[in-house]
Amino acid sequence: MFAPAPFLLKDASVSRVMTQVCLALVPGIAAYAWLVGPAILVQLVIASLAALLAEAAMLRVQGKPLGMFLADGSAVVTAWLIALTFPPLAPWWLVVTGTVFAIVIAKQLYGGLGQNPFNPAMVAFAVCIVAFPALMSQWPSVGLQLSLADQINVILGLAPRVDALAGATPLDAMKTALKLADGSVSVTQLLANQDIYGNFAGRGWEWVAAGYLLGGLWMWQRKLITWHVPTAFIGALVVVAGGLWLYNPAQFANPLFHLLSGGSMLGAFFIATDPVSGCTTPRGKLIFGAGAGLLAYIIRVFGGYPDGVAFAVLLMNLCAPVIDLLTQPPIFGMKDKA
Amino acid sequence: MSHYLFILVGAVLVNNVVLVKILGLCPFMGVSKKLETAYGMGAATTFVLTMATGASYIIDHYLLMPFGLEYLRTLSFIVTIAAIVQLTEMVIAKTSPTLQQTLGIYLPLITTNCAVLGVPLLNIANGYNFVESLLFGAGSAVGFSLVLILFAGIRERIEGADVPVYFRGVAIAMITAGLMALAFMGFAGLDKYQ
Amino acid sequence: MDILLAIAIMALGAVVLGAALGFASIKFKVEGDPLVEKIEAILPQTQCGQCGFPGCKPYAEAIAKGDVDINLCPPGGMEGVAKLADLLGREVKPLDAEEKPKQIAIIDENTCIGCTLCIQACPVDAIVGAAKQMHTIITPLCTGCELCLPPCPVECIRMEAITENIDNWKWKYPVVEIKAAPLQKAA
Amino acid sequence: MLMNLFKFKGGVKPPTNKTQSLGLSIAQAPLPSKLVVPLHQSIGGTPRPVVQAGDKVLKGQLIGEADGWISAAVHAPTSGTVLEVAMHVQPHPSGLDAMCVVIEPDGKDEWIARQPVDYQALTPEQVREGLQQAGVVGLGGAVFPTHGKLTASKTVPMDELVINGAECEPFITCDDLLMRERAEEVVRGIGVFRDLLQPKKVLIGIEDNKPEAAAAMRAAVDALGEPFLVVQVPTLYPAGGAKQLIRVLTGKEVPASKRSTDLGVQCFNVATAYTAWRAIAHGEPVVSRLVTVTGNVGEPRNYEVLIGTPMGELLQLAQPQPDTDGIVMGGPMMGFLVPDAKVPVVKATNCLIAHSERLFPPKAPEMPCIRCGACAQACPHELQPFEMYWFSRAKNFGKTQEYHIFDCIECGCCSFVCPSRIPLVQYFRFAKSEIWARERDKNAAEGAKARFEFKQLRDEREKAEKAEKLAKAAAAQAAKKAAEAAAAAAAEASPTAPDSAAAATQVQASAATVEATATPAVDAEKEAKKAAIAAAMARAKAQREAVQPKNTEQLSAVQQREQAEIEARRQAAHLTDPAQAEPAAPASEKTD
């Protein structure tokens, strides 16, 4: 017997979706590479290789066809998100550990593609920041210029992890500075330091965020994502950050700083929009995005970690099935009752 | 006022009784297969836990401490909890026999749920007053119900997933619980914010 | 003295709690068992007695009491066991007998002598006929319980599996082309 | 357009592929070598065959009479000889057989006497019955008997009558050509429907990729002076679904749980209107229909085809390409590959597409669902197909119903857009038929339970009656003893002892029979009861006798023959003695 109706199919496939997501990451990656050097490309390669190998091993163990699933590109998307959220000069084994954990535990143990309740990349980030908090906070100092060879040596552990790596993300720097100063410094004073904080939110980092925004908008235009999650995420972040900033601008940074720093843009467009672990109903997506934005702010400002996007997304992943159940849209012909 | 808020938020999220304190895992794994059951169990546990914290505070402060009988705490708390559980079971048997049947052994086992005994003891260890005790008890109960319901939602979805044979059932549930605990670590430090 | 005080306080607690529970047990007295009905709704109502109980209801009552296993109903099949396990929160157990395809009884009209014994044996009134007249089975009413087979003195009743026709045909589970372990309900 | 159109959510735009078969006008397909006419061609009861092998039939002669109200008659498509009434493979995805009347044409194509009627002189009931007799069913594909849809709701006024000429499925053009070439008769048919339903408005919806059809229909409407509105609706699959077209034209949404008449709207296909008019004005039952033959063929075209024509023979007319490897009945979105080229064209066959891998490339293997939500965006019923899929796959049917699986119209939009190539509709059909089967089982179980409980009740009653009888007997015994004792006492007291003793023996003798009673009062009561029972039995017997001959009267010739045969067999086997064949009392009360 032949395949059942419909006999006509739209030209679409999972691997094309994943390829387009990777393409959409390119502007952000380009800005990132311009900012910290080609090390990030090395990390992307390491993470991709680790992800594909882990995926292949797990598929082999389960007796699933290798070619079809490796080609779907989902492992590569996970790997790229891991590489982009980890510090660019993190040791290779840290990236590999995170990636393997993501693919094996968070993805394949649940049955692989499409079945994981948690975003694998964010699981990797959370696991590593809990297990290796120091390594996960070593960001290259501002203006650090190392040659490619030096960077690779640092990543591979052949060169000592230089003091220059004692930098932090603008978010972390701000948080630490505020804590150390214990009220004697205001956010406005800190932000005036353009060496660290650039024009808006972190020297160079703001351009990486802009790159992600560009890619995200392209994905929206290509209908790979809907507007709901990014809008709700950014909206919630702006509302809570703006409210607190208006309440006390000395203690709380302005919304623009929060939007363009840390993982906000990457989270809003590439992580929280993951349909597998996120919500799928329109209202559910709005709640998911808003919840993730709000939690990200709360955790990065009031909590114990430098950034909150990963935990926020994981926490919303937890809620996604229940939110979906509670936000089922009314169906054709049943709208009066709803 | 914010002090109370911190106790509440701390009990619900930051020091979640299941995911951070790792108490009450028996019903957490046992009755989280279906969302409907989880709602019932959450409600029952919330009721019992809140009542138990209040009752144990009164017993401790007005019956045991005046007579210097603190060593009877565990015993008298358990007796009180058992009575409250019994009462709850009777009410559930009357109102929803199916829920009673689906909760099964886990309903009477609330008696020995370490969360229910642990929270009143933690209250005393933390030196909370009556209102604080009630808040902490209610917060813990809400935290328990919250993660139970979210967990049940995820488990209902995983049930349809193509989980490798050796990980089906409790194994993947334990892994999921672990990842949930990981997510809840994100709340760490929230209750320490000045 | 201390001990006496402790005993007195515990006794007081026991009396108070006991009184409260006693009151509650009267106030919240449950009559009947709605669970039996739910169990009965799952049982196939063949009334075949293969579970060892005289009919589906007694078996349902026994299950509700917790006296017997849930895997004693062959007509219900594994699916019935799974549903019962789901309702009662018990473990799914393999069926205590072989699972057969659904059958119905057919009376060979040439051999039937009209003794009415099968009519008396049929628990669901699916056989019509009169003394010394040929009997026949009302096909849609037959549950395939086989209770009419033993009483027939001339062995004119046989069981036949229900064949597929256009009206009872079912769409098949789509062929899964990915080689994967068969899906099972997670325990 | 002057009218305010509504939109339905979702929908897809597959390549329409309609122009291929629009080049040529409708052609009459030649008589095939053999016609296989399935009896069951509509929703509802299976018509009963009224012909048998060897019978001569004329074109349009009844061969299967409707069984019940929701059922439609079947007629001989041409004149000829009935070869057999037997099981043949069906144009059905199951590939199973069903009862068919096989007719060998005599080549004369000779009509039975046709009787046109003036429907306006008839009552609506008579018109509906006439349509049922003529076998008029919905020709859009659902084949619901048309007369069953021609009764307006008693409570809701009929606002709109929607006529479906949208024809949204790719490749199919039979309605398009029907409207172009036979618009007048279509409009007259719509007029019949209008007169029966009395709607406030009649809206004819045609997709805007068929301007010629719309123009032809407009011209016909104007020529006949009808107030019908011909509306061009945007081309978007599945705008031709009845519920979607109703939504587009009226803004009303009909859920699965309601009938459209409950919302004051009804929908018919243009081809149905045409056949209804042919049936009424020309006395021609439905014996042929328009079929688009297209796909991997040299000369795609629309044919007027006799019902029962083997699909293979029809396809040959359009010169299929050598790499044709199957026949799709229906469109590429909702059609199915027929199990055999021998299967006949039926009333539901609107299109045959020659299948080839060139035309419909084989699908890539199914991947897991990534919950991208494309299906939910494409679903015209605003369902969540990926959730229904997730639970259908896990065979959790209760959950699929929570996600409203029965509102799914199986249009295939979800499968069309799925990037994972999941045959979603297949999963839903699987789940639906499982749920139906379960529902059947459940109803059967409930019936069985009720009968079992009734039987138990009966047994108990019988037991109780027996016990009562025994108790009465025991009471009689006790009374007798008392009487004996009394007699003995009397004997002792009176000198006429032997007399009393004799009386006592008498009592004893009467007590020996169970019926005996101690006192005359009870005796009388008992007698009355007995008489009543006897009377009731006599009444019952009389009733039985009154009823029985009636039954045999109604037996058809076939049944009578069968009965005689059985009787003969039984006598041959010496199993019954005809002399003894008196109507015995029913063995149990179930026949009551």
pLDDT digits 0-9 by tens, C124-173: 888 988 888 888 888 888 888 888 888 888 888 988 888 888 888 888 88
Sequence spans of domains, chain D: 19-351, 374-436
Contact C170, D395 (CB under 8 A): no
Does residue A115 form part of some domain?
Answer: yes
For residue D208, count other CB atoms closer than 10 A to its CB: 15
Mark whether A27 and A155 lie in a shared domain. yes
Q: Take residue D152 and report the two structure tokens written for it.
A: 């307006």
Look at residue A279 and tell me if it is in a domain: yes
Residue B157, chain D, CB below 8 Å: the answer is yes
Which of B167, B184, B192 is the closest to A109 by Cβ?
B167
Range of A171-185, B71-85, D208-222, D440-454 with top mean pLDDT = D208-222
Average pLDDT, integer, range D493-498: 54
Nearest-Cα distance to chain C for A3, in Å, is 9
Please state the domain count of chain A: 2
Asked if C177 is an interface residue toward chain D (Cβ–Cβ < 8 A), one would say yes
List the single residue in C with minimal CA-CA distance to D46.
C167
Contact present, D468 and D475 (Cβ < 8 Å): no
Domain carrying residue A115? 19-167
Q: What residues contact residue A183 under an 8 Å CB cut-off, 6+ apart?
A: none
Instruction: Determine the distance in angstroms separating the CA of D276 from the nearest CA of chain A, rounded to an integer.
Output: 30
Under the banding of pLDDT at 50, 70 and 90, the label for residue D535 is low
Interface test with chain A among B14, B28, B157, by most A beta carbons within 10 Å: B157
Residue A26 sits in the same domain as residue A162: yes
Q: Which two tokens stand for residue B138?
A: 């209610």
User: Does the residue A29 lie in any domain?
Assistant: yes
Chain D residue set in contact with B, beta carbons under 8 Å: 368, 390-391, 393-394, 396
Tell whether C77 is covered by a domain: yes
Which chains lie within 8 Å of chain A at 3 or more CB pairs, if any?
Answer: B, C, D
Contact B183 A105 (CB under 8 A): no
Is the same domain home to A261 and A238? yes
Phi-psi region of D330 (alpha: psi -120 to 50; beta: other; left: phi over 0): left
Q: pLDDT tens digit string along A146-157? A: 777 888 888 887
How far is Cα C99 from Cα D234, in angstroms, rounded to an integer? Answer: 54
DSSP summary character for residue D262: G
Contacts for C57 with CB less than 8 Å, ≥ 6 apart: C36, C40
| Chain C residues near residue B94 by CB distance under 8 angstroms | 28-30
Flag if B182 and A315 touch (Cβ within 8 Å): no
For residue C37, which phi and psi values (nearest 5 degrees)? -60, -40
Decide if C9 is inside a domain: no
pLDDT in tens, chain B (194 residues): 678 888 888 899 998 999 998 888 888 988 888 888 888 888 888 888 998 999 999 989 988 888 888 888 888 888 888 888 888 888 888 887 777 777 767 778 787 788 888 999 988 888 889 999 999 999 999 999 999 999 999 999 898 888 988 898 889 999 999 999 999 999 988 877 65
DSSP 8-state symbol, A164: G
B154 touches chain C (CB under 8 A): no
In a domain, A191, yes or no: yes
What is the least distance, in Å, from the CA of A62 to any CA of chain B? Answer: 7
User: Given CB atoms, is C172 within the 8 Å cutoff of chain D?
Assistant: yes
CA distance D256 to D262: 12
D60 has pLDDT over 80 = yes
Q: Spell out which residues of chain C touch residue D566, defining contact as CB-CB under 8 Å.
A: 109, 134
Confirm whether C27 is domain-assigned: no
Q: Cβ contacts (< 8 Å) between B162 and chain D: which residues?
A: 368
Statement to judge: residues A198 and A88 lie in one domain: no
Look at D20-24, D31-35, D218-222, D515-519 and tell me which has the smallest mean pLDDT.
D515-519
Are B160 and D393 in contact (CB < 8 Å)? yes
Q: How confident is the model at residue D579 (pLDDT cuts 50, 70, 90)?
A: very low
Eight-state DSSP code of residue A271: I
A24 and A163 inside one domain? yes
In angstroms, the separation between the Cα of residue A114 and the nearest Cα of chain D is 4
Write out pLDDT tens, residues A283-298.
999 999 999 999 999 9
**Residue A3 domain-assigned?**
no
Smallest CA–CA distance, residue D94 to chain C, in Å, is 7
Which residues in chain D have Cβ-Cβ distances shorter than 8 Å to A276?
A: 370-371
Query: What is the band of D343 on the pLDDT scale with cuts at 50, 70, 90?
Result: very high
Interchain CB contact of A67 with C (< 8 Å):
no
Domain CATH for C125: 3.30.70.20
CA distance C100 to chain D (A): 16
Same domain, A108 and A215: no
Q: What ipTM was reported for this prediction?
A: 0.86
Given CB atoms, is A4 within the 8 Å cutoff of chain C? yes
Within this chain, do residues A67 and A115 fall inside the same structural domain, yes or no? yes
Chains that touch B (3 or more CB pairs under 8 A): A, C, D
Q: Are residues A149 and A220 in the same domain?
A: no
Are the beta carbons of D211 and D294 closer than 8 angstroms? no
User: What is the pLDDT averaged over residues A76-84?
Assistant: 94
Contact flag B160-D368 (C-beta cutoff 8 Å): no
Residue D394 to residue B157, Cβ atoms within 8 A: no
**Is residue A112 exposed (0-12), middle (13-18) or buried (19+ Cβ within 10 Å)?**
buried
Domain boundaries, chain B: 2-8+17-192
pLDDT score recorded for residue D456: 87
Same domain as A120, residue A212: no
**Mean pLDDT over residues D108-118, rounded?**
90
Question: Is A14 within the bounds of a domain?
Answer: no
Domain count along chain C: 2
CATH 3.40.50.920 fits D19-351, yes or no: no
Q: Contacts of residue C181 in chain A, CB cutoff 8 Å?
A: 62-63
Q: What is the pLDDT of residue D235?
A: 93
Q: D304: helix, coil or strand?
A: strand
Q: With 60 as the cut, is the pLDDT of residue D397 above it?
A: yes
**What span, in angstroms and rounded, lies between the C-alpha atoms of D325 and B16?**
63
Residues linked to residue A209 through DSSP beta bridges, in sequence order: none
Percent of chain D with pLDDT over 90: 56
8 Å CB contact of D14 and A8: yes
Rounded to the nearest angstrom, the minimum Cα separation between C83 and chain B is 13
Residues C64 and C110 in one domain: no
Q: Which residues contact D264 (CB under 8 A, 6 or more apart)?
A: D153, D156, D157, D158, D159, D160, D252
* Residues A186 and A244 both lie in one domain: yes
Look up the domain containing C64 and give its range. 34-88
Instruction: Count CB-CB contacts under 10 A for residue B75.
Output: 14
